[in-house]
A and B are shown apart, each in its own frame.
Chain A
Amino acid sequence: MLERKVKVELEHGLHARPATEFVKLCASVKSDVTLIKDKKEMNAKSIMGVMALGVSKGDQVTLRVNGPDEAEAIEKLEKYLMNGEKR
């Protein structure tokens, strides 16, 4: 299991469209992904869960990845949260 603290730099945080993209990305990895904010833990493969965390730009979150491709996955997900949407 890997855990990493990430400061979300997405311009609109995890709002509808970026949240959709993020969840799709999480669904594409084999490992289980948990997104944690203010001690609330959500399954990151769930759009409702991710949106319910209400993550805004600048928020500190924790990514927890557990599974066969965890090392690769955590890199990919961290990268997205740090600079995914740049429009």
Chain B
Amino acid sequence: MSRVFHGIAASPGIAIGRAARLERQELKVEKREILSPEDEIERFKQAITKAVTDLEEIYQKTLKELGEEKASIFQAHQMLLQDPVWTSEVENRIREESINGEYAIEQVTEQYISLFSEMEDEYMRERAADLKDVKNRVLAYLTGTNRRQIHEQTPSILVAHDLTPSDTAQLDRKLTLGFVTEIGGRTSHSAIMARSLEIPAVVGIGEILGEVRNGDLLIVDGLEGEIHLNPDPETVARFEEKRERYLQEKEGLKKLVDQPTITRDGHQVEIAANIGTPKDVEGALRNGAEGIGLFRTEFLYMDRDTFPTEEEQFAAYKEVVEKMKGKPVIIRTLDIGGDKEIPYLDMPKEMNPFLGYRAIRLCLDRTELFKTQLRAILRASAYGRVKIMFPMVTTLSEVREAKRILHEIVEEFREQKIPFSSDLEVGIMVETPASAVIADILAKEVDFFSIGTNDLIQYTMAADRMNERVSYLYQPYHPAILRLVKMVIDAAHKEGKWAGMCGEMAGDPIAIPILLGLGLDEFSMSSSSILTARQKVGSLSYSEMKTLAEQALEQETQEKVKDLVRAAGV
């Protein structure tokens, strides 16, 4: 009989196929008395070694396919297995009670599992799952049972109570059409991995293993978070069509990778990527970034005990610039302070860090630090198209002072004949109401503006974005924000300069039509948003958006702005 189940849409796409149940193979552990504890301990040690080797392989595979962050979980698993306290507890039990290794592991690990599962913190409770995963791996080696074989030989839809991180890492994209789990949320390991592997998935569906048999026909709608069990032919036809449409859209997006970003009526803008480290360049290029609109340099200063040297910085900047092969790279000078601290800077605690000693304020005070960074950027500029951007500007004198220091270094470079790019553009981030309001004055002093909306909204609305009680005031479409954005763009254009945006708002589908209409020249966003944004721009008419933007500026509230955009059907 046909049935529909609802869960959480964890990974987009539609899969239609036969169900393959993943049975949780409970390893039965029995207590046995053993004659030679020392032999048993040796057997235990060998199982650990095998499990660690196994995990190293999974780690390498995941690292290659999904990157460092997702792979790090398997390093943690290795560390759990090599935990000196855990291993010696297990060994002691074997020795003192003359029991088998399996039983000793079970006993010792269960203590920790129950400790973790009783914790208040949800994150820590989830770690109990990691421990179970690790424990079962060792037990499998010891008992000689094979680990669950994830895959049947034919492509199918996996149905499981839950997928452990190592299950998910072993998924074969060709054999896994989609998957469904009874528990889990959008941010569970399995959901995140499913999205990286582009496998449609619905999680948190509740009790379903009791209903599905191997070979049942299943539809997984990862867009809506729906499962159809044994659907009728009409439903299958409907979803086949939906799948086709989805795949075509996806293909369509891929086609846009090397395309310019251009409206229906021929107005061209640029879509760039925000990155944090040189590693992020790859994703930016894969998603068709036309440049780097914001290269945050803070990573160089974090997690260490001393300042990064000029050489270290130069290497990182050069790597990004070279990889971008002549496409523009906007390097933002150190934006530290506020909520981002570095221990060796030794800064006193502040009452209002967001309003305190940070970013350009700090750089202009600690000029040696600033000069080192500027030198590294200048040197990297010889290898491509570099632009420099100063953050958190509020006064004209800050811009002049920053430029003066830059020119000092330029002079030095000229004298010493150190190569650098002579047509280096210098811009500022507009992220305070002060700089937005005097944008007409600042525009004479710089080559470009990039509007940082996250901070601009926070400062304009006077609402700390970390404070949940006032988070409702984080309103990107508030008329005050839109009007400030307009002031900045107009001021830049009046001086023949360009204006971009590198905050969250630049990739927001509701904001894009308005920003386009206001005349924004460059949109910089996280790489994953680029293709959708490019498609959006391609579907719009610049002249129509100009009218829409004018109307948006006249709305009374953020809600009315949203309604306006929705009503326009864009």
Which A residues are within 8 Å of any B CB, using their own CB? 15-17, 20, 23, 42-43, 45-49, 51-52, 54, 56, 79, 83, 85-87
- CA gap between A83 and B304 in the complex, in Å: 11
Bound CA–CA A67/B79 (angstroms): 24
* Chain B residues, CB < 8 A from A47: 76, 79-80, 83
Are A86 and B302 neighbours in the complex by a CB distance under 8 Å?
A: yes
Please, how many angstroms separate the alpha-carbon atoms of A45 and B85 in the complex?
8
Q: Are B127 and A51 in contact (CB under 8 A)?
A: yes
Whether the pair B119, A48 counts as a contact (CB closer than 8 A) is: no
Residues on B with beta carbons closer than 8 Å to the beta carbon of A85:
303
Given contacts A86-B303, A86-B343, contact A16 B85 (CB under 8 A): no
Contact of B124 among A46, A49, A51, A83 (CB under 8 A): A51
Partner of B340, one of A16, A43, A56, A86: A86
Closest chain B CB from A35 CB (angstroms): 12
- What does the 1/0 interface line of B44-83 toward A look like (CB < 8 Å)? 0000000000000000000000000000110110011001
Selected A-B contacts with CB under 8 Å, 18 pairs = A15-B123, A23-B79, A43-B84, A43-B85, A45-B85, A46-B84, A47-B79, A47-B80, A48-B131, A49-B85, A51-B124, A52-B115, A54-B120, A54-B121, A54-B124, A56-B121, A85-B303, A86-B343
Q: Smallest CB-CB separation from B304: which chain A residue?
A: A86
**Is B112 located at the chain interface by the 8 A CB criterion?**
yes
Contact A79 B343 (CB under 8 A): yes
Q: How large is the interface on B (under 10, 10 to 19, 20 to 34, 35 or more residues)?
A: 20 to 34
Q: Is B341 an interface residue (CB 8 A)?
A: yes
Residue B116, interface by CB 8 Å: yes
4 further A-B pairs in the complex, CB-CB below 8 A; given A15-B123, A86-B302, A86-B303: A20-B76, A48-B85, A49-B85, A54-B119
A12 (CB) vs chain B CBs: closest residue = B123
List, in ascending order, chain A residues with CB within 8 A of B115's CB.
Answer: 52
List the B side residues contacting A46 at CB < 8 Å.
Answer: 83-86
By beta carbon, the residue of chain A nearest B302 is A86
Shortest Cβ distance from A83 into B: residue: B343
- Contact at B75–A20, with CB atoms within 8 Å? yes
Question: What does DSSP make chain B's interface, helix, strand, loop or mixed?
Answer: helix
A49 to chain B, nearest CB (A): 5
1/0 per residue B301-341: CB within 8 Å of A? 01100000000000000000000000000000000000011
Residues in B whose Cβ lies below 8 Å from that of A45: 84-85
> How many Å from the CB of B286 to the closest CB on chain A?
24
Interchain nearest-CB distance for B395 vs A (Å): 28
Q: B104 CB to closest chain A CB, in angstroms?
A: 15
Shortest CB-to-CB span from A54 to chain B, Å, is 5
The chain A residue sitting closest to B336, CB to CB, is: A86
- Distance to closest chain A CB from B282 (angstroms): 21
Q: In the complex, what's the smallest C-beta–C-beta distance from A85 to chain B, in angstroms?
A: 7
B342 within 8 A of A: yes
Nearest Cβ on chain B to A46's Cβ, whole angstroms: 3
Q: Give Cα distance in the complex from A48 to B119, angstroms.
A: 14
Residues of B within 8 A of A16 (CB): 73, 76, 127, 130
A46 to B120, CA, bound (A): 21
Q: What 8 pairs between A and B have smallest CB-CB spacing?
A: A46-B85, A83-B343, A52-B115, A43-B85, A54-B119, A46-B83, A48-B112, A47-B83
Chain A residue with Cβ nearest B305: A79
Give every chain A residue within 8 A of B124 (Cβ-Cβ): 15, 51, 54
Q: Does B341 lie within 8 Å of A52, measured CB to CB? A: no
B85 adjacent to A83 (CB under 8 Å): no
Cα-based distance from A17 to B124 in the complex (angstroms): 12
Chain A nearest Cβ from B570, distance in angstroms: 37
Interface residues of B in 71-107 (CB under 8 A from A): 72-73, 75-76, 79-80, 83-86
Closest to B81 in A: A47
Q: CA–CA, A49 to B80, complex, Å?
A: 10
**Which residues of B have CB within 8 Å of A51?**
116, 124, 127
Q: What residue in chain B is nearest A80 (Cβ atoms)?
A: B343
Contacting pair B79 A20 (CB below 8 A): yes
Chain A nearest CB: distance from B466 CB in Å?
11
A79 and B346 CA atoms in complex are apart in Å by 12
Q: How far is the CA of A46 from the CA of B82 in the complex (A)?
A: 9
Distance in Å: Cβ of A5 to nearest Cβ of chain B: 19
Contact A52-B116, Cβ < 8 Å, known A17-B72, A45-B84, A83-B343:
yes
Q: Measured between alpha carbons, how far is A15 from B116 in the docked complex, in Å?
A: 12
> Do the beta carbons of A83 and B341 come within 8 Å of each other?
yes
State how many angstroms separate the Cβ of B37 from the closest Cβ of chain A.
22
Least distance between A39 CB and chain B CB atoms (Å): 15
**Could you mark each residue 340-364 of chain B with 1 if its beta carbon is under 8 Å from any beta carbon of chain A, else 0?**
1111000000000000000000000
Chain B contacts for A42, CB-based, 8 A: 85
Annotate B196-232 by CB proximity to A: 1 below 8 A, 0 otherwise.
0000000000000000000000000000000000000
B343 to chain A: closest CB distance in Å? 5
Contact of A87 among B72, B119, B302 (CB under 8 A): B302
A44 to B362, CA, bound (A): 37
Is B302 within 8 A of A48, CB to CB? no
For window 113-143 of chain B, which residues contact chain A by CB distance below 8 Å?
Answer: 115-116, 119-121, 123-124, 127, 130-131
User: What is the distance, in angstroms, from A84's C-beta to the closest C-beta of chain B?
Assistant: 8
Most buried by B among A45, A51, A85: A51
Q: By the criterion CB–CB under 8 Å, are B112 and A52 in contact? A: yes
With a CB–CB cut-off of 8 A, which chain A residues contact B121? 54, 56
Interface centre among B112, B120, B130 (most CB of A within 10 A): B112
Q: Which of A17, A48, A52, A83 has the most CB of B within 10 A?
A: A48
Question: Which of B72, B116, B127 gathers most chain A CB within 10 Å?
Answer: B127
CB B40 to nearest CB in A, in angstroms, measures 22
Closest residue of A by beta carbon distance from B276: A87
Q: In the assembled complex, how far is the CB of residue B487 from the closest CB belonging to chain A, in whole angstroms?
A: 34
